[in-house]
Amino acid sequence: MRRRSRSHIKRYYIVRIALIIIPFLLGGLYVGGAFYIINDITSFVHNKNYDPASFIPADFINMSQWADKIEIRFENYHMPANISLVCTFTGSNYTNVSYYHGTDNVALSTGMALATECFRYEAAKKENNASLKANATRCIKRLLTGFSYLLAVPNGGIGPDYPGIISRFYWSPDNVNIPGYETITNWMLDENEVRHFNGTGAYRNWRWRGYTSKDEMAGYLFGLGAAIQYCNDEPWIWNRSRLLIAQIIEGFKDTNWLVINGDGHPCGSDMKAIIGGGEWILSLLRIGKTAFPDGRYDDLYHYFASKNMYMNKVAQGKATNIIMDYYGWNFMHKTLFNLITLEDDPNLKNLYINQYKDGVYNFIKYTRSPYFNMMYLVFTGENDSAIKEDIFDQLMRFENNTYCRNVNATIRPLSHQLNPKMQNWRNFIETNPIGSLYKPLTLEIDFDDIYLQPATVDMLYSNVGNFYEKCPFDEISVDERTGNGLKEGPGNTYTVVYWMGRAHGIIPPP
């Protein structure tokens, strides 16, 4: 019988296995290389690239006086229609408004303003300061009136019996009588603006801006949640806040947690969690749970928290969010605030806090944001002197520069250095044949120059409305650092940190 060699069969299977394995190996090497590049260019976020010895010592008397000055200007010039607005003045006396600025984010800015006033209200109660409480109460009622119109205009009224469409901005026919409101009036009445809709019912002659996104929802959650948490002893504030919260919750229940536009169709925002984002629904229901002690939202809250496992899907970020989509940290903190501070189950609260530490604060603790640092202290209850001194230094720098105006932002010192890894990898991708394989990364990640040291608040005056949306590691152009000084923000960037600290005993009264 003839014997046949089987060596060719072995070679056949070796080649076949190699053809299967090699693509996976190459793919794994490619993906591993991509992760290596990303980790390398973002590694600086875990380094403390600043010297605490340069911090300005806290002067709590000056801090208080500065907060009072901002509050007076905010009430007189920045809430003409009971919503928080940036304005431009006619001259350097800063008493005559030339025009108010329209914005996509009035619910976000008004929510921040409302939360700020609620912190001031809480500080007044703890310090037994009647005049401070009266001033805060007046502002809270005005801002809650503005929030009421943000819901009433698209839905025809407020309360759970009305639909729950949430708006970005509203305009009333009476606004034509507000000096400086002409620009906003023309903008809101522009028939070519596809995001603008007529109001409903009694508000049919009013206008509102739609296509609302989650950033606006963060304003609703932050402001209304703070009113529920800190002002439950003031009947009008408590009852009005409950009406608005119930309307939003019932509205989302009817739409399966989709944000609905003026044409009745979803506009792209879904409150439900997929991989992360569990804080959106949980925060809203946690506020509702506190607002309605009768338990009407308790089961729904626990259903999403435990049955749907949203409790394991909160406060999830990554290092790349520092160099791209930095503004999202701002929304996340507003959303997390009442979820964490209102939670009365110690195990659930600790779970939220630990996820925040690992998934958020781990990446932002060296950004030197007084806003994020203050929330960290409030969330955790820690008495960290290093973090407090960092916050106080930043608050002192507001006054040492100027009011929240578009003028004379401090230039970065020469000691601030650009991240060399960013330039090295950018050159590698642009000039190296192997590096060119990683060009798809540039579609997802910005490879622009970025500093190793964070800018302080006095270097971020290009955004007078909210500095905390601006990445402190970005380059700041000459145009961003200079202006005519006539554009003024509402000042909540300072006061939200100051009054939060006063309310929680982190900043002492003068």
Structure tokens at 49: 């690239």
Q: Which of 115, 335, 54 is nearest to 216 (CA)?
A: 335
The answer to whether residue 175 sits within a structural domain is: yes
Q: Are residues 100 and 162 in the same domain?
A: yes
Quote the pLDDT of residue 386: 95
Closest CA to 205 of 166, 246, 176: 176
Question: Do residue 286 and residue 186 come from a single domain?
Answer: no
279 & 205 share domain: no
Do 30 and 96 lie in one domain? The reply is no
The verdict on 109 and 250 lying in the same domain is: yes
C-alpha R_g of the chain: 26
The whole-number pLDDT of residue 238 equals 98
Q: Alpha-carbon distance 270 to 280, whole Å?
A: 10
Whether 15 maps to a domain, the answer reads: yes
Is 278 a member of any domain? yes
Q: How many domains does the chain have?
A: 4
In a domain? residue 499: yes
- The contacts of residue 145 (CB under 8 Å, 6+ apart) are 82
pLDDT at 168 (0 to 100): 95
Query: Can you tell me the distance from the alpha carbon of 447 to that of 12, in angstroms, rounded to the nearest whole number?
Result: 46
Last residue of a domain, one of 254, 284, 314: 254
Residues 123 and 232 in one domain: yes
What is the extent of the structural domain holding 301? 272-364
In a domain? residue 369: no
Burial annotation 240-275 (CB, 10 A radius, 16+ → b, else e): bbbbbbbbbbbbbeebebbbbbbeeeebebebebee
Lowest-confidence pick of 65-74, 212-221, 329-338, 410-419: 410-419
Q: Stretch 285-307: mean pLDDT, rounded?
A: 96
Tens of pLDDT, residue by residue over 355-409, are: 999 999 999 999 999 999 999 999 999 999 999 999 999 999 886 556 677 776 7
- Domain shared by 139 and 26, yes or no: no
**Pair 113, 36 in one domain:** no
Within this chain, do residues 410 and 429 fall inside the same structural domain, yes or no?
no
Global pTM exceeds 0.85: yes
Q: Does residue 377 sit within a domain?
A: no
Q: Are residues 74 and 163 in the same domain?
A: no
Within this chain, do residues 72 and 144 fall inside the same structural domain, yes or no?
no
What's residue 392's pLDDT?
97
Give φ, ψ of 174 to 5 degrees: -70, -15
Question: Do 53 and 167 share a domain, yes or no?
Answer: no
* Helix (H/G/I), strand (E/B), else coil: 280: helix
